[in-house]
Amino acid sequence: MEIPVVLTYNGTLIDNTDGNGSNLSANTPDPVDVHVGRRLRLRREILRLSQEQVANAIGVTFQQIQKYEQGRNRISSSRLFDISNVLGVPVTYLFQDLVATETTARERKAASVGGMAEAIIADFDAGEAIDRTETLELVRSFWRIPNPRARQELLGLVKLLVDK
């Protein structure tokens, strides 16, 4: 018996079930793969790299990068390492803002054996804002500010505005 995975992204329910607890087809992307793909696309766009440039750097086709970005194909650990090196970020960057409150694999297995499986819930705090053009423009503009102190002061101002 498989445990249904229920996730939220910016308050929107995402799961891999049909609503009755039955798993959808194998063609349904895993929400974690979708999240990692979105983070890959975000960083690639921030660096203004094409899918083809990233693909060539890691030895795959640009179509494979498209599949990674859409969450249709899982990324192996060695490929995650290669991608993070090309993008100049640690591997953990690709999982950033993915907060899972799921049980350990052993607890999930024990729960499913006992017939008491509960949905696994995870929370994506980043929200849809990360996918917006304005966010990308803001980040690019921020890093074009030549003075590091000015960037820090701007960041402080933004944080102050958020708290009000």
Cβ atoms of 34 and 41 closer than 8 Å: no
Domain ranges in the chain are: 5-131
CATH architecture of 5-131: Orthogonal Bundle (1.10)
Helix (H) or strand (E) holding 14: strand 12-15
pLDDT for position 127: 54
Reading the block at residue 65, the tokens are 């990068």
Per-residue three-class SS string for 111-152: HHHCCCCCCEEEEECCCHHHHCHHHHHHHHHHHHCCCHHHHH
Query: Mean pLDDT, consecutive 10-residue segments, the chain of 164 residues?
Result: 49 48 62 91 92 97 96 95 95 82 39 42 48 79 91 90 83
0.95 cut: is pTM over it?
Answer: no
Q: Which residue in the block uniquely carries the two structure tokens 């994506």?
A: 124
What's the one-letter identity of residue 92? T
